[in-house]
Amino acid sequence: MGIGLTVVQNDLQGIVSYAKGVSIGLINWLLLLLVIDFSLIPSMLLTLEYVEGILLRLLRSNII
């Protein structure tokens, strides 16, 4: 929550001016998370519920 409080107008203008790079980065970030997530299913013999929990944890903590 603290990061969102420090956003200024210049930050938003940077996102708009680099919209292509930002969109490519976000799409790749989400795809990479899915690849990591679903590669854990056979390697760790986890049920789908556990693997989805790991994905949510990765999304929340911004590890990647």
Distance CA 24, CA 28 (A): 6
Q: What is the pLDDT of residue 57?
A: 79
CA dihedral 18, 22, 24, 30 (to 10 degrees): 180
Question: Using one digit for the tens of pLDDT, what is the confidence trace for 8-44?
Answer: 888 888 888 888 998 998 888 888 877 877 777 677 7
Q: What is the pLDDT of residue 61?
A: 66
Q: What is the pLDDT of residue 5?
A: 73
Kindly state the tokens that stand for 24. Answer: 């490519």
